[in-house]
């Protein structure tokens, strides 16, 4: 008979903030989430509960009850990261651990409990360790996953144990909500007078299935051990890392490259067999006197080529200052992605795309990938918002021709001009200490800014001006003001 | 007009941007525009789209002069013969321009230097003074004032938009060499 331990983490989002040392948690505090267009409280701390606020309340109601309530929107990504960290931590209790998102873990503790001196002691030990981590938990132990989960969430004690073979008895007193059923079904059951699981035992399962659907009988069967429902442990993501420790420190660039070569061959070999590539590599060099030096390089596409790794590391390695030598090295691959195998470049296009990516990598690794960019189109009528810059690495360029004629240079902010002969546009003006005379002008093109954004709300008039000196400028004027100030917003070819 | 590949060419004057764009437009290859923030940040693709294929364009923003020259050197040296437009904020020394020239010879691409800080002795193949002029449509005067092979001259260039599939530049010799 398998034994399952379920850990329920009822206040995971609050615990995450407590662990960060958030000072707001000393008073009434709640984590909120948006649910069908309304902000609702999902987790409330003890001070909040004392003030009369409950989870599930609308934020506006809670504010009315407790004006001092402080809140924070929930952050599902970080909460999941914390849960995954706890999932790795739970390896200390049992080798078979699976996630039970969003706020639980399931451990198959068959044959493990005696190592802790019994099941109840094991639960207590897990609880004590979680308290050390500043995480609140409740634990249920039973024969099946469903029963263990139900006991953890609805059990009377912090560690509730159902003795082997006593599942049904332990569950009998728990409410039907413990069965992990949709809320509508629980309401229907309550309307029929079935509030505890014990009530369900007294009904024929065929009757229950006919009236409430098969889901109910399946859950009931799984919880009482009639249907199989095993814990399926998932292995943690493989890490692609290699380490080398040398008996004597080394310091010559050639030797360092040799070491890196071996590490890269190892890491990239493993990546290759799994048909994966990494977007980032990190190298740690531990010097005997100055400690760890971290270097990292990036790639524009997933890479598993040791040559490329060496090539990109050659610059940071040459910058490294080693006096007494280094004797510990670690190369780790990060941002692992699958590599789609493709035919070795036939034809010019594929080759050219490869060369482009190699150049982006080379430049990005020294200047920073945010400094190597391409233009992206955007539907917008405000000239300076027509084209966001995006990092060139890992993006396929797609440009959609903008509908309006624009200058090739756009000055942001526009540059003030000294008007010498007033007019619309001015007949003569000075810009960047040069004098210009208007030969021809075209305009105005009137642009109203986006009122729904916080930006300069003034209406703008743009004029295309051909000066007698030759340069073609884009003059800007705000007609809503007195219209006397002129600016150069751009320059045409 | 054909600028020799595997060389660097210099342009200066108010029309230098357009000279670089016109030269890059004739190369069917990736274009890198490298410069400091003040030169790169003002580029406007919705204006450039009339001349260049924006999807081929990569912009590289360097934060110092050293990085700027390093990036240009790497881009010119890279396999694939890129067209590299470099916004030079100040004067290049002969040594620096010689390095760029050697890099261009190795990579086989085209280097276009927009000189914003004055002209000096350099290793470039040609040097052009570029001036937009007031005429019926957009027009420029390009004067080649240095050519290593002796090919100097002056041209008046106009651009006719959308007459056929690829926009064309029309050349009219105003003062043949």
pLDDT in tens, A432-473: 999 999 998 987 889 888 888 877 888 889 999 999 988 999
Alpha-carbon A95 to chain mean position: 28
Give domain limits for chain A.
Answer: 1-27+68-236, 241-338, 343-399, 409-491
Say if CB A493 and CB B159 are below 8 A apart: yes
User: How near does any CA of chain A get to the CA of B99, in Å?
Assistant: 18
Task: Name the residue among A219, A401, A251, A272 with its Cα closest to residue A326.
Answer: A251
Size of interface A-B (CB pairs under 8 A): 140
Check residue B165 and give its pLDDT.
36
| Interface check A2 vs B, CB under 8 A | no
List chain A residues with CB under 8 Å of B61: 367, 371-373
The answer, yes or no, to whether residue B163 has pLDDT greater than 50, is no
Check residue A105 and give its pLDDT.
92
Six token digits for residue A150: 């139900």
* Phi and psi at residue B70, to the nearest 5°: -65, -45
Interface mutation vs chain B, best among A345, A363, A440, most B CBs within 10 Å: A363
Distance (Å, rounded) from C-alpha A405 to C-alpha B138? 13
List chain A residues with CB under 8 Å of B74: 359, 362-363
pLDDT in tens, B2-48: 788 889 999 999 989 999 998 888 887 889 999 998 888 889 988 88
Check residue A130 and give its pLDDT.
93
Q: Give mean pLDDT, residues B38-64.
A: 89
Nearest to B44 among A352, A397, A408 (CB): A408
Check residue B31 and give its pLDDT.
92
Interface mutation vs chain B, best among A300, A345, A367, A489, most B CBs within 10 Å: A367
Nearest CA in chain A to B59: A373
The answer, yes or no, to whether residue B74 has pLDDT greater than 50, is yes
User: How near does any CA of chain B get to the CA of A362, in Å?
Assistant: 8
User: How near does any CA of chain A get to the CA of B175, in Å?
Assistant: 19
The answer, yes or no, to whether residue B89 has pLDDT greater than 70, is yes
Check residue B175 and give its pLDDT.
45
Say if the Cβ atoms of B49 and A467 lie within 8 Å: no
Q: Which domains does chain B have, with CATH numbers?
A: 7-175 (3.40.50.300)
Say if the Cβ atoms of B59 and A375 lie within 8 Å: yes
Nearest to A362 among B55, B56, B74 (CB): B74
* Overall size of chain A counted in residues: 493
* Phi and psi at residue A466, to the nearest 5°: -95, 115
List chain B residues with CB under 8 Å of A492: 47, 138
Interface mutation vs chain B, best among A399, A404, A415, most B CBs within 10 Å: A399
Check residue A376 and give its pLDDT.
87
Q: Give mean pLDDT, residues B99-117.
A: 92
Interface mutation vs chain A, best among B21, B44, B56, B156, most A CBs within 10 Å: B44
Please state, in angstroms and as integers, the Cα–Cα distance from residue A290 to each residue in A314, A323, A375, following that order.
21, 9, 43
Element (H, E) at B37: helix B37-40
Q: What secondary structure letter does DSSP report for B14?
A: T
Say if the Cβ atoms of B134 and A470 lie within 8 Å: yes
The answer, yes or no, to whether residue B114 has pLDDT greater than 90, is yes
Task: Name the residue among B71, B74, B67, B118 with its Cα closest to residue B92.
Answer: B118
List chain B residues with CB under 8 Å of A395: none
Nearest to B42 among A360, A411, A471 (CB): A411
Percentage of chain A beyond pLDDT 70 is: 98
Check residue B170 and give its pLDDT.
58
Q: Give mean pLDDT, residues B60-84.
A: 91
Check residue B12 and give its pLDDT.
93
Which residues, other chains included, contact A458 with Cβ-Cβ below 8 Å and sequence gap of 6+?
Answer: A449, A478, A480, A481
Give SS3 for B137: coil
User: How near does any CA of chain B get to the CA of A406, in Å?
Assistant: 4
Nearest to A407 among B14, B44, B51 (CB): B44
Q: What is the 3-state secondary structure (H, E, C) of chain A?
A: CCCEEEEECCCHHHHHHHHCCCHHHHCCEEEEEEECCEEEEEEECHHHHHCCCCCCCEHHHHHHHCCCCEEEECCHHHHHHHHHHHHHHHHHCCCEEEEECCCEEEEECCCCHHHHCCHHHHHHHHHHHHHHCCCCCEEEEECCHHHHHHHHHHCCCCEEECCCCCHHHHHHCCEHHHHCCCHHHHHHHHHCCCCEHHHHHCCCHHHHHHHHCHHHHHHHHHHCCCCCCCCCCCCCCCCEEEEEEEEEEECCHHHHHHHHHHHHHHHHHHHHHCCEEEEEEEEEEEECCCEEEEEEEEEEEEECCHHHHHHHHHHHHHHCCCCCCEEEEEEEEEEEEECCCCCCCCHHHHHHHHHHHHHHHHHHHHHCHHHEEEECCCCCCCHHHCCCEEECCCCCCCCCCCCCCCCCEEEEEEEEEEEEECCCCCCEEEECCEEEEEEEEEEEEEECCCCCCCCCCCCEEEEEEEECCCCEEEEEECCCCCCCCEEEEEECC
List chain B residues with CB under 8 Å of A490: 42, 44, 47
Nearest to A355 among B78, B134, B159 (CB): B78
Say if CB B158 and CB B169 are below 8 A apart: yes
**Average pLDDT over chain A, rounded to an integer:** 88
> How, if at all, do strands B7-12 and B31-36 pair?
unpaired
| Interface check A226 vs B, CB under 8 A | no
**Average pLDDT over chain B, rounded to an integer:** 85
Q: Which CATH class is domain A1-27+68-236?
A: alpha beta
Nearest to A359 among B14, B62, B75 (CB): B75
Nearest to B14 among A363, A404, A471 (CB): A471
List chain B residues with CB under 8 Å of A401: 49
Give CATH for domain A241-338. Answer: 3.30.1490.100
Nearest to A406 among B44, B57, B133 (CB): B44
pLDDT classification of B176: cutoffs 50, 70, 90: very low
Check residue A487 and give its pLDDT.
92
Q: What residue ranges of chain A have pLDDT lower than 70?
A: 235-237, 341-346
Say if the Cβ atoms of B47 and A492 lie within 8 Å: yes
Check residue B39 and give its pLDDT.
86
Check residue A284 and give its pLDDT.
93
Q: Looking at this predicted complex, what is its ipTM?
A: 0.88
């Amino acid at each position: 008979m398998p034994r399952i331990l379920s850990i329920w983490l009822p206040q995971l989002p609050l615990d995450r903030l407590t662990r960060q040392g958030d000072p707001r948690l000393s008073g009434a505090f709640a984590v909120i989430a948006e649910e069908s267009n309304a902000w609702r409280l999902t987790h409330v701390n003890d001070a909040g509960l004392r003030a009369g606020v409950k989870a599930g309340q609308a934020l506006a109601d809670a504010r009315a009850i407790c004006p001092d309530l402080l809140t924070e929107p929930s952050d599902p990504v970080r909460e999941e990261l914390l849960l995954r960290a706890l999932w790795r931590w739970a390896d200390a209790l049992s080798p078979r651990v699976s996630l039970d998102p969003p706020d639980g873990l399931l451990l198959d503790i068959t044959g493990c409990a005696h190592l802790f001196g019994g099941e109840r002691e094991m639960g207590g030990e897990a609880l004590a360790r979680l308290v050390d981590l500043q995480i609140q938990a409740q634990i249920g132990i039973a024969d099946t996953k469903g029963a263990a989960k139900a006991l953890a969430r609805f059990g009377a004690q912090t560690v509730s144990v159902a003795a082997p073979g006593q599942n049904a008895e332990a569950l009998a007193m728990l409410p039907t909500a413990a069965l992990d059923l949709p809320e509508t079904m629980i309401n229907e059951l309550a309307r029929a007078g079935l509030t505890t699981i014990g009530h369900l035992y007294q009904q024929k399962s065929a009757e229950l299935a006919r009236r409430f659907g098969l889901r109910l009988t399946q859950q009931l069967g799984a919880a009482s051990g009639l249907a199989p429902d095993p814990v399926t442990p998932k292995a943690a993501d493989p890490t692609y890392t290699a380490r080398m420790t040398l008996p004597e420190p080394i310091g010559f660039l050639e030797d360092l490259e040799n070491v890196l070569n071996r590490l890269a061959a190892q890491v990239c070999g493993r990546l290759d067999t799994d048909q994966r590539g990494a977007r980032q590599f990190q190298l740690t060099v531990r010097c005997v006197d100055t400690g760890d030096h971290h270097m990292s390089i990036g790639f524009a596409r997933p890479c598993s080529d040791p040559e490329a790794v060496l090539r990109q590391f050659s610059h940071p390695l040459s910058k490294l200052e080693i006096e007494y030598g280094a004797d510990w090295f670690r190369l780790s691959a990060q941002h692992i992605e699958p590599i789609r195998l493709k035919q070795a470049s036939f034809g010019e296009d594929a080759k050219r795309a490869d060369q482009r990516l190699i150049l982006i990598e080379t430049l990005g690794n020294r200047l920073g990938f945010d400094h190597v960019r391409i233009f992206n189109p955007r539907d917008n009528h405000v000239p300076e918002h027509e084209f966001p810059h995006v990092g060139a690495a890992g993006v396929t360029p797609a440009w959609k021709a903008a509908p309006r004629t624009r200058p090739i240079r756009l000055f942001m902010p526009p540059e003030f001009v000294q008007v010498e002969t007033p007019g619309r546009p001015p007949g003569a003006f000075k810009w960047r200490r040069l004098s210009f005379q208007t030969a021809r002008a075209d305009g105005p093109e009137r642009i109203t800014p986006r009122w729904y954004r916080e930006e300069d709300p003034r209406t703008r008039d743009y004029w295309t001006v051909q000066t007698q000196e030759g340069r073609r400028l884009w003059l800007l004027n705000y007609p809503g003001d007195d219209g006397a100030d002129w600016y150069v917003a751009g320059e045409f070819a | 007009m054909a600028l020799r590949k595997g060389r660097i060419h210099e342009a200066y004057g108010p029309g230098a941007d357009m000279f670089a764009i016109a030269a890059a437009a004739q190369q069917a290859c990736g274009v890198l525009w490298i410069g400091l923030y003040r030169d790169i940040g003002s580029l406007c693709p919705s204006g450039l789209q009339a001349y260049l294929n924006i999807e081929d364009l990569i912009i590289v923003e360097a934060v110092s002069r050293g990085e700027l020259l390093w990036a240009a050197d790497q881009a010119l040296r890279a396999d694939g013969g890129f067209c590299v437009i470099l916004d030079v904020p100040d004067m290049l020394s002969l040594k620096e321009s010689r390095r760029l020239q050697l890099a261009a010879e190795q990579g086989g691409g085209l280097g276009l230097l927009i000189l914003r800080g004055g002209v000096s002795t350099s290793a470039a193949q040609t040097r052009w003074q570029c001036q937009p002029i007031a005429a019926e449509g957009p027009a420029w005067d390009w004067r080649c004032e240095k050519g290593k092979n002796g090919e100097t001259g002056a041209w008046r260039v106009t651009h006719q938009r959308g007459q056929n599939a690829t926009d064309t530049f029309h050349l009219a010799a105003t003062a043949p060499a």
